[in-house]
Amino acid sequence: MKKYIYLLFALAFITSCEESELINFKEKDAVYFQLEKTDFNAHFSYWDDWLKYEGDSVIYTFGGLAADHPEYIEQDTVWLQVNLLGKVADQKRYFSIGVNQNQTTAEEGVHYEALESQYALEADTIRAAFPVVLYNHETLGTEPYTLDVVIEGNDTFEPGLEGRTNARLLIYNDVVKPLIWDQYYYNYLGPYSKAKHRVILMTNGGFVIPHTSEEYAALRAEEGFYVIYYWKAPMNDYLEANEVYDENGNRVEPW
């Protein structure tokens, strides 16, 4: 009989501990990365349309522009968004951010500015964004440097949803195929290659080829309906006078 009573007390104690731990876990809020472009985080970057989200990765390029190019920039800021998983508070709270050095090839002070250890989630809000300053260093090229940013637990927040507690920034300095090339540009400029992209930039006085249909429509409204023809003639003149080879070793022909 005593053994039975002791067993009941033991089970009650274990159950009480488990319930207490569960309550404590539920009471501790969490944050996780919003790894897609939103109205909240989309407008910060200078090269906004050369900023892409793929899975857990944020892909950023400085565009492969030479230092004397009119659109060249020495640094840019990417804003990473985190969302609250839990209760909204009436006071400012702080979440912790770190760098996973085992998954990072970018060098602090060379490719990016050192991160703060904590960033604020303002009162009565469910999301926050913090800056990651990237440097256009001469070592950047076609192969990206990786910066793996992670959410770390602290007294206020735990890392949130599985698979959303880290964000990998892939930083490089290269041209990127516009999203609308095949739809809008192919008939006028031919198949895409990075080499052709650079020739168009070089022979047209410095500009950024629009990446979205909205940007293309805005450019046509500003420069004229036949703006693509303005790119084509200088490109063809250059390709006729110079041998240019693409990334696969094939000569880029006039179109």
CATH code of residue 127: 2.60.40.2030
Q: Is the pLDDT of residue 62 over 90?
A: no
Q: Is the pLDDT of residue 203 over 70?
A: yes
- Picking from 130, 150, 172, the residue at the C-terminal end of a domain is 172
Length of the chain: 255
Tell me which residue range forms the domain holding 200. 181-241
Q: Do 116 and 82 fall into the same domain?
A: yes
Among 2-6, 117-121, 147-151, 224-228, the minimum mean pLDDT is found in 2-6
Q: Is the pLDDT of residue 102 over 90?
A: yes
Whether residue 14 lies inside any domain: the answer is no
Q: Do 114 and 196 fall into the same domain?
A: no
User: How many domains does the structure of the chain reveal?
Assistant: 2
Give me 39's structure tokens. 């109205």
Whether residue 229 lies inside any domain: the answer is yes
- Picking from 172, 199, 214, the residue at the C-terminal end of a domain is 172
- Picking from 172, 190, 217, the residue at the C-terminal end of a domain is 172
**Would the pTM of this model clear 0.85, i.e. be above it?**
no
Q: Please give the helix or strand (H or E) that residue 59 lies within, else none.
A: strand 57-61
Q: Is the pLDDT of residue 13 over 60?
A: no
Q: Is the pLDDT of residue 194 over 80?
A: yes
Smallest Cα–Cα separation from 177: which of 153, 209, 207?
Answer: 209
In contact, 134 and 77? CB cutoff 8 Å:
yes
Whether residue 15 lies inside any domain: the answer is no
Mean per-residue pLDDT, 189-196: 92
Mean per-residue pLDDT, 139-148: 89
What is the predicted pLDDT for the residue at 2?
36
Whether residue 96 lies inside any domain: the answer is yes
Q: Do 79 and 189 fall into the same domain?
A: no
Q: Do 51 and 156 fall into the same domain?
A: yes
Cα Rg, the chain, nearest whole Å: 25
Mean per-residue pLDDT, 222-247: 86
The 10s digit of each residue's pLDDT in 81-100 is: 999 999 999 999 999 999 99
Give me 18's structure tokens. 């488990």
Mean of the per-residue pLDDT values of the chain: 80
What is the predicted pLDDT for the residue at 54?
56
Q: Do 34 and 139 fall into the same domain?
A: yes
Q: Is the pLDDT of residue 131 over 60?
A: yes
Residue 225 phi, psi (nearest 5)? -65, -35
What is the predicted pLDDT for the residue at 179?
80
DSSP letters, 177-198, are --TTIIIIIHHHH-S--HHHHH
Q: Do 68 and 159 fall into the same domain?
A: yes
Whether residue 23 lies inside any domain: the answer is no
